[in-house]
A and B are shown apart, each in its own frame.
Chain A
């Protein structure tokens, strides 16, 4: 039994040993099979495979070209957008500067106008006060004259002692003060 496991070299030998030389029929049929497989792969499968690989290569190349064009276009658009954005920012800065300048100018104008208005009001007030003062002086002057006439009349009609005289003068001054 154990001897059955021993691998023996045989030259076309017995069926119980392992043959180390090729069987002629198996060799010929093996060559036929291999030749048929090689012919099929070489003449049928590989041309079809190569044709498909060419198509795939063209498709991939086309997609790559298309992608490159789209990328270039996108890059151009991005550049344009950035340029527009830069212009817009520049324009916005100009507008802000203009607005600031206008605001400053308007502020200065308003301040100037206000100062002029205030100056005008002060002038008018001074003129009014001056006029009122003149009017009051004029009125006082006429009242003093009347009082002087009235006082002179009283001095003439009555003998005055010193006490009366002082009282009269004080009374006059009080009245004069109350008029102002």
Chain B
């Protein structure tokens, strides 16, 4: 806002487009294919290409690309699945790896040159991924414990009976409603905020660097802030992918071992 007011005061033409223009793209192709869909498929293709090329001719002594892909799988397997779920969670490594790569690559579009748009800042992907996570952990819970899963969720052990009057509704809503909701909103909101942040920084640099003193000072500051913001968003993009997957692993673990 400060930058905006400064631009007006010192005669700059810094204006931000309506927020919808930053996120909503019209469908220009059949089957509802718009810029978001194309970018989603490209990100998916890039993630698939990384793994297919890395593992198509996997060597015992890995090359650089194979080492990168192996490190990602190793990270998901050792730091998330084994740490949180345990050995019986190893069968979820492909799913969680896919989830991580899909979110991460779609997030990274935010700082990809000439793209600069995270497809996860549209609700479709966070909604689907949260729904998938919900379906997996709820399905696992009922599959492993039957209706007892509902009882395990609604009545956590070790709590005095009167407390259940308050706790049971909270637990039911928290597990079956709020979990997918918060998963989707967290990812969506972070990427929306990141995209708006970068847009402001880049547009401000473009507008204010053309001004004379003192407006140019704002331009210089936003020019310096640009790379920092990109670095920060790289961190956020990676962190959000990690958080989404680790929470899914926590929910899966809770469904497999509700007594914990």
Residue positions of A touching B, CB distance < 8 A = 1-2, 4-8, 14-31, 33-34, 36-38, 40-42, 44-46, 48-49, 51-52, 55-56, 59
B51 touches A18 (CB 8 A): no
Q: Inside 8 A of A33's CB, which chain B residues have their CB?
A: 40-41, 43-44, 102
Q: Inside 8 A of B18's CB, which chain A residues have their CB?
A: 4, 15-17
Report the Cα distance A112→B48, complex, angstroms.
103
Q: Inside 8 A of A59's CB, which chain B residues have their CB?
A: 60
User: Taking each of B43, B48, B119, B129, which has the highest tally of chain A beta carbons within 10 Å of its own beta carbon?
Assistant: B48
| Minimum Cβ distance to chain B for residue A118 (Å) | 88
A18 touches B192 (CB 8 A): yes
- 18 A-B pairs with C-beta separation under 8 A: A4-B18, A5-B16, A5-B19, A15-B18, A18-B20, A19-B20, A19-B23, A21-B123, A24-B32, A26-B40, A26-B119, A29-B41, A34-B129, A37-B102, A42-B94, A48-B58, A52-B59, A56-B60
**A52-B44 CB under 8 A given contacts A22-B128, A26-B34:** no
B interface SS class: helix
Within 8 A of A (CB), among B108-129: 119, 122-125, 127-129
| Minimum Cβ distance to chain A for residue B236 (Å) | 17
Within 8 A of A (CB), among B19-52: 19-21, 23-24, 27, 31-34, 36-37, 40-41, 43-44, 47-48, 51-52
Q: Given A19, A29, A46, A52, which contacts B40 in the complex, CB threshold below 8 Å?
A: A29
Q: Inside 8 A of A7's CB, which chain B residues have their CB?
A: 19, 192
| Minimum Cβ distance to chain A for residue B189 (Å) | 9
A25 touches B27 (CB 8 A): yes
A interface SS class: helix
A19 touches B95 (CB 8 A): no
Q: Given B20, B43, B119, B122, which contacts A16 in the complex, CB threshold below 8 Å?
A: B20
| Minimum Cβ distance to chain B for residue A48 (Å) | 4
B70 touches A25 (CB 8 A): no
| Minimum Cβ distance to chain A for residue B144 (Å) | 21
Q: Inside 8 A of A1's CB, which chain B residues have their CB?
A: 4, 15-16
